[in-house]
Amino acid sequence: MRLEGKVALITGGSSGIGKATAILFAREGARVVIADINDKDAETTVLQITEEGNQAIFVKADVSSAEDCRNMIETAISTYGGLHILFNNAGIMDSRDDNAVATDESTWDLTMNINAKGVFLGCKYGIPAIKSSGGGSIINTASFVSILGAATPQVAYTASKGAVLSLTRELAVIHAREGIRVNALCPGPLRTELLMKFLDTEEKKQRRLVHIPMGRFGEAEEMAKAALFLASDDSSYVTGTSFMVDGGITAAYVTPE
């Protein structure tokens, strides 16, 4: 097992990428802490993991709250004795998010607080715990839109993921010699509830699909496998990267500098 003896905390672990990753990490030997605001779905995920004979607990947390982020880290330590993997995955894609003119300030603030501040707070309290546990891996969920922008306007989401990318690079440099690796997972368009609620018409879906060389949406389980690589010792010399798992979309549209 690739995560034997490791403790992993996953935010947004009740659905989508987070749920798929929690299940996979547990199967690979990790003791998993799922942090989410969604009690029911998170507890269902924990039940699925424990019924397979693996270990997981749920802690309720709003990642935009410093108190909640501190508590989720402390819960991981008090329950499992340390922290080795932190997957800052929780995020939102608000249906009110649009272009700069149409997007209201409250939508901007909410998106930034969860998608960007939530990653900062996770790292703020998680880094000391990982360091005291002997080092480990931090994975921050960014997005392909942090590299090339979105065909369907979503300025708050795009800006928040750009912030995640920059934060990841800086933290990777700062903590590299402390045995802490920090990488950004950059999914392409996925067939998850989060994106499908945003791409709520066939026209919107096709505007995304036409740009993807593979011609399909990605799956949460494919992102979980990428996260497993970044979490495990298989990626021991990988830090500060923007790990693109996007069906080829950025290769098709980004020109190397």
Task: Supply the CATH number for residue 142's domain.
Answer: 3.40.50.720
Q: Flag whether 116 is in a domain.
A: yes
- Overall pTM > 0.85: yes
Residue 255 lies in a domain: no
- Lowest mean pLDDT: which of 87-101, 108-122, 186-200, 228-242? 186-200
Residue 107 C-alpha from the chain's centroid: 20
Evaluate whether residue 133 is within a structural domain: yes
Cβ neighbours around 220 below 10 Å, total: 21
Asked if residue 251 is part of any domain, the answer here is: no
254 within domain boundaries = no
- What's the rounded mean pLDDT across residues 213-229? 95
The residue-averaged pLDDT of 169-197 equals: 92
Q: At what angle do helices 155-175 and 105-112 cross, to 10 degrees?
A: 30
Is the sign of the CA dihedral 227, 233, 235, 238 positive or negative?
positive
Task: Write the DSSP string, 122-183.
Answer: HHHHHHHHHHHTT-EEEEEE--THHHH--SS--HHHHHHHHHHHHHHHHHHHHHGGGTEEEE
**Is residue 135 domain-resident?**
yes
**Which of 171, 184, 176, 193 is CA-nearest to residue 245?**
184
Q: How many domains does the chain have?
A: 1
Give the 3-state secondary structure of residue 4: coil
Q: Is 237 a catalytic residue?
A: no
- pLDDT mean across residues, the chain: 94
Please say if the pLDDT value at position 78 is more than 80. Answer: yes
Instruction: Out of 80, 157, 237, 253, pick the active-site residue.
Output: 157
Residue 2 included in any domain: no
Domain residues for the domain of 11 are: 7-238
Contact 250, 244 (CB under 8 A): yes
Q: Answer whether residue 103 is part of any domain.
A: yes
